[in-house]
C-alpha cells in the first residue's frame, strides 16, 4: 500500500500558488483514481484510492508546509505503511517549470515540507515526485519564498493540466511497477537518432535567413539563491 502525500498550504489564499502544486496533484490523482471523498484526520485531509490494482491512501497535510511531518507520520503509523512506501509530491525550484522527476531518498534541499517529514518520520528514505516550478526571473522582486508563495502566471496555468497528468502517470507507474522501474522509465530522456542529430547539427551551422523569425527569449534566472519553503 502506498501513502501518496501532496504538499501545500491550506486555505483559498494559497490554493493557486506554486508551493501548492502537490495539493493540486493529489486532487488530480483522486479524480483519476475515483478515490473516496476526502475526510479529516491526521491533521490533514485523506482519502482511500485504488492506484492501478493496488490500494492506496492520499493525503493533504493541513498543518502548513513547515509542519507537514505532523500529518504524515501518524498516517504512516495508522495504516502501518513503511517509509519506503511513502510518495511525496512537492514543488522543486531546481527543475525547470514543467519538468517532473522521480527521486528516492536524499536530503531536503531546503524544502521545509521535506525537512519536517524527515524529522518526524526519522528518515529521508522515501520516494519524491519533484514538480519543477523553476527559479524566479532576474526581474522578480522579492525573496525565493515570495516566488513560491505566488500564483502561476497565465502561460504556466495553461500548461498545468498536462503537467499534473505527468505527475499522476508517474505515481500510477510507481504503484504498478515499483519505484526503480518507474524511475528508469519516467526519468529517461529520449535520445535522438543519428539522422536527427545530423539534421540538428547542420541546422546550427546553416546561416539563418534574413527574414527568419527570432526565437523567443527565455527569462534568465537568478543563480545561487537559497531554496526556501513556507
Instruction: State yes or no: 14 annotated in a binding site.
Output: yes
Catalytic residue among 17, 19, 90, 108: 19
211 annotated ligand-binding residue: no
Does the annotation list 112 as a binding residue? yes
Active site residue 19: yes
Is 187 marked as binding a ligand?
no
Write a three-state SS string for the chain: CEEEEECCCCCHHHCCEHHHHHHHHHHHHHHHCCCCCCEEECCEEEEEEEECCEEEEEEEECCCHHHCHHHHHHHHHHHCCCHHHEEEEEEECCCCCCCEEEEECCCCCCCHHHHHHHHHHCCCCCEEEEEECCCCECCCCCCHHHHHCCECCHHHHHHHHHHHHHHHHHHHHHHHHCHHHHHHHHCCCCCCCHHHHHHHHHHHHCCCCCCCCCCCCCCCECCCCCCCCC
Instruction: Enumerate the known binding-site residues for tRNA.
Output: 14, 64, 66, 112
Catalytic residue positions, numbered? 19
Amino acid at each position: 500500500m502506498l501513502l501518496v502525500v501532496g504538499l501545500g498550504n491550506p486555505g483559498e489564499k494559497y490554493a493557486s500558488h506554486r508551493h501548492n502544486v502537490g495539493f493540486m496533484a493529489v486532487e488530480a490523482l483522486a479524480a483519476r483514481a475515483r478515490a473516496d471523498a476526502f475526510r479529516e484526520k491526521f491533521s490533514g485531509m485523506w482519502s482511500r484510492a485504488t492506484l492501478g490494482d493496488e490500494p492506496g491512501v492520499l493525503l493533504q497535510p493541513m498543518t502548513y508546509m513547515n509542519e507537514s511531518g505532523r500529518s504524515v507520520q501518524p498516517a504512516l503509523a495508522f495504516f502501518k505503511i513503511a517509509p519506503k512506501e511513502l510518495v511525496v509530491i512537492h514543488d522543486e525550484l531546481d527543475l525547470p517549470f514543467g519538468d517532473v522527476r522521480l527521486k528516492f531518498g536524499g536530503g531536503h534541499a531546503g524544502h521545509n515540507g521535506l525537512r519536517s517529514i524527515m524529522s518526524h518520520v526519522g528518515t529521508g528514505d522515501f520516494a519524491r515526485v519533484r514538480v519543477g516550478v523553476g527559479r524566479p526571473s532576474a526581474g522578480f522582486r522579492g525573496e525565493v519564498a515570495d516566488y513560491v508563495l505566488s500564483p502561476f502566471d497565465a502561460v504556466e496555468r495553461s500548461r498545468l493540466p498536462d503537467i499534473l497528468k505527468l505527475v499522476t502517470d508517474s505515481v500510477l507507474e510507481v504503484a504498478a511497477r515499483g519505484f526503480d522501474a518507474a524511475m528508469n522509465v519516467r526519468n529517461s530522456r529520449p535520445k535522438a537518432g543519428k539522422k536527427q542529430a545530423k539534421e540538428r547539427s547542420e541546422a546550427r551551422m546553416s546561416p539563418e535567413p534574413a527574414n527568419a523569425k527570432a526565437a523567443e527569449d527565455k527569462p534568465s534566472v537568478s543563480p545561487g539563491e537559497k531554496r526556501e519553503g513556507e
